[in-house]
Structure 1
Amino acid sequence: MKVEEYQSSGTVHVPMTCTVREAAKQMRDQHVGALIVTENGPPSSRVVGIVTDRDIVVKAVIERLAPDDLLVADIMQTHVLSIDRSADIGDALQTMASHGVRRLAVTNAEGALVGMLSLDDLLGALARDWALLSSIVRSELTRERTGSVQSMLPAA
Structure 2
Amino acid sequence: MIVAQVLKTKGSQVVSVRPGDSIASITRTLAQHRIGAVLVLEGEQVLGIVSERDIVRALAALGEAVMRMTAGQLMTRVLFTAGPASTIQDALQLMTDRRVRHLPVLHADGTLAGMVSIGDLVKARIAEAEDEAEALKSYVATAG
Aligned to 1:4: 4
Q: For the residues of structure 2 that align with 1:13 and 1:25, how far apart are their CA atoms?
A: 12
Alpha-carbon RMSD:
2.6
Greater helix share, structure number: 2
Could you tell me how far 1:17 is from its partner in structure 2?
0.8
1:103 equivalent to 2:106? Answer no
Q: For the residues of structure 2 that align with 1:89 and 1:124, how far apart are their CA atoms?
A: 10
Could you tell me how far 1:31 is from its partner in structure 2?
2.1
Uncovered stretches (5+) of structure 1, i.e. residues with no partner: 141-148
Aligned to 2:84: 85
Uncovered stretches (5+) of structure 2, i.e. residues with no partner: none
Aligned to 1:19: 22
Could you tell me how far 1:62 is from its partner in structure 2?
5.5
Amino acid at match of 1:93: L
Amino acid at match of 1:106: V
Could you tell me the TM-score, scaled by structure 2's length? Answer: 0.80
Q: For the residues of structure 2 that align with 1:46 and 1:125, how far apart are their CA atoms?
A: 28
Contact 2:48 2:77 in 1 (8 A): yes
Could you tell me how far 1:6 is from its partner in structure 2?
1.6
Q: For the residues of structure 1 that align with 2:124 and 2:65, how far apart are their CA atoms?
A: 38
Contact 1:60 1:75 in 2 (8 A): no
Aligned to 1:65: 64
Which deviations, in whole Å up to 9, do the C-alpha atoms of 1:8-48 show, x marking residues without a partner?
41211101111111101111112221111123xxxx34221
SS of corresponding position for 2:39: strand
Q: For the residues of structure 1 that align with 2:64 and 2:73, how far apart are their CA atoms?
A: 11
Aligned to 1:33: 36
Aligned to 1:125: 124
Aligned to 2:54: 55
Amino acid at match of 1:117: V
SS of corresponding position for 2:54: helix
Could you tell me the TM-score, scaled by structure 1's length? Answer: 0.74
Could you tell me how far 1:123 is from its partner in structure 2?
1.6
Q: How many residues align?
A: 138
